[in-house]
Amino acid sequence: MIEFQHVSFAYEKDRPVIRDLSFRIESGESVGLIGANGAGKSTVMKLLLGLLPCEGQILVDDTPVTKETLKTIRRKLGFVLQNSDNQMFMPTVYEDMIFAPLNYMVSREEAEKRVDAVLARLGLTELKYRHNHKISGGEKRMAAIATILAMEPEAILMDEPTSALDPYNRRVVINTIRELSQTKIITSHDLDMILDTCDRVLLLSEGQIVADGPAGEILRDQALLESHRMELPLSLSRRD
C-alpha cells in the first residue's frame, strides 16, 4: 500500500511543483500517472523513493518515508529509470542484475538463481554476459526491467518505460509489464500503453490530481484530457 498525505514540494521557493497531493494505491494495483510536461509526474516518483524531501507524509505499507526508513522502503520499491543507460551502470547485464540482491545481503548463489530465473522469464538469457554498452536500446530497456525484477520488489515504478522504443520493442515491454504481478506505478505520455497496462489512472496537472479513476474512463474523456494539454490515446481517437 502506498499513500500520499497532503504532500507538497518545491524545487524553488514559492514555485511549488507538487501541491497538497493525497492519494492511496492498494497492493497489486496498476496505476498510470499521466499529465503534461512539468505536471510533476517524475517528481511524485522521486518523492515516493525518498530522493527528494517534502512536506506532508508518504507511507509505504504504513511506514512513513523518512531518512531512517529509506533502506526498508527502497527494498520494497523497484524503480525503472527513463534512461536505461543511467540505470545500467555495471559493465555487463549479469553484474547489473546481481548488484541489488548482493547489496541486500542475498547470498551469491541465491542471487545467481534469481538472475537466471528473471532472464529466462523475460526471454533474455542470451543477454546475460553481454556488455551494457553493446546492447540495443530495446534490449537495454528490457534488461533494466530485469535488474529491478531481480530485486524482487513489492512495487515497481516506471518512468516512461516505452519512450524511444520502436513499435516491436514497445510491444515487448508492454507485454512484460502486463505480466508483472507486483503493484505498478507508471508515468508516461504514451497513453495507449497506459490503457494497455493500467487499471487506474491519476491525471496530474500543476502538481495536483485533477482526475482519479478507471483507466478506460479517464482516457476516453477527450474534454478532460484536452483541458490538461493531453490528447486521446491513438487507439481511441476517431480516424476520419
What's phi and psi for 78, nearest 5 deg? -105, 135
- C-alpha 72/C-alpha 90 separation (Å) is 24
Q: Choose, by CB under 8 A, the member of 21, 31, 81, 191 that binds other proteins.
A: 81
By CB under 8 A, is residue 87 in contact with other proteins?
yes
H/E stretch holding 200 reads strand 200-205
Q: In degrees, to the nearest 5, what angle opens at C-alpha 143 toward C-alphas 183 and 177?
A: 30
Closest approach, Cβ 146 to other proteins, in A, equals: 12
Task: Pick the piece of the chain touching other proteins (CB under 8 A) from 55-63, 83-91, 165-173, 194-202.
Answer: 83-91
The distance from CA 130 to its chain's CA centroid, rounded to whole angstroms, is: 25
- C-alpha 197/C-alpha 180 separation (Å) is 10
Q: Which is nearer to other proteins, 51 or 120 (CB)?
A: 51
By CB under 8 A, is residue 93 in contact with other proteins?
no
- Within 13 Å, how many C-alpha atoms sit on residue 232's CB side? 12
The distance from CA 162 to its chain's CA centroid, rounded to whole angstroms, is: 11
Q: Which is nearer to other proteins, 78 or 161 (CB)?
A: 78
Q: Which is nearer to other proteins, 4 or 79 (CB)?
A: 79
Q: Which is nearer to other proteins, 23 or 99 (CB)?
A: 99
Q: Choose, by CB under 8 A, the member of 7, 43, 47, 92 that binds other proteins.
A: 92
Q: Choose, by CB under 8 A, the member of 93, 98, 186, 203 that binds other proteins.
A: 98
Q: Which is nearer to other proteins, 92 or 197 (CB)?
A: 92
Instruction: Kindly write out the interface string for residues 30-69 of this chain, putting x where it contacts other proteins by CB under 8 A and - elsewhere.
Output: ----------------x--x-x------------------
Q: Which is nearer to other proteins, 1 or 90 (CB)?
A: 90
The Cα-based distances of 27 to 12, 140, 230 in angstroms read: 33, 28, 28
Q: Choose, by CB under 8 A, the member of 25, 58, 151, 165 that binds other proteins.
A: 151
| Alpha-helical regions (H) of the chain | 41-48, 70-76, 84-87, 93-103, 108-122, 137-149, 167-179, 191-197, 215-218, 222-227
Instruction: Give 5's DSSP letter.
Output: E
By CB under 8 A, is residue 147 in contact with other proteins?
yes
Contacts with other proteins, residue ranges (CB under 8 A): 46, 49, 51, 71, 74-75, 77-79, 81, 83, 85-87, 89-92, 94-95, 98-100, 102-104, 108, 131-134, 147, 151
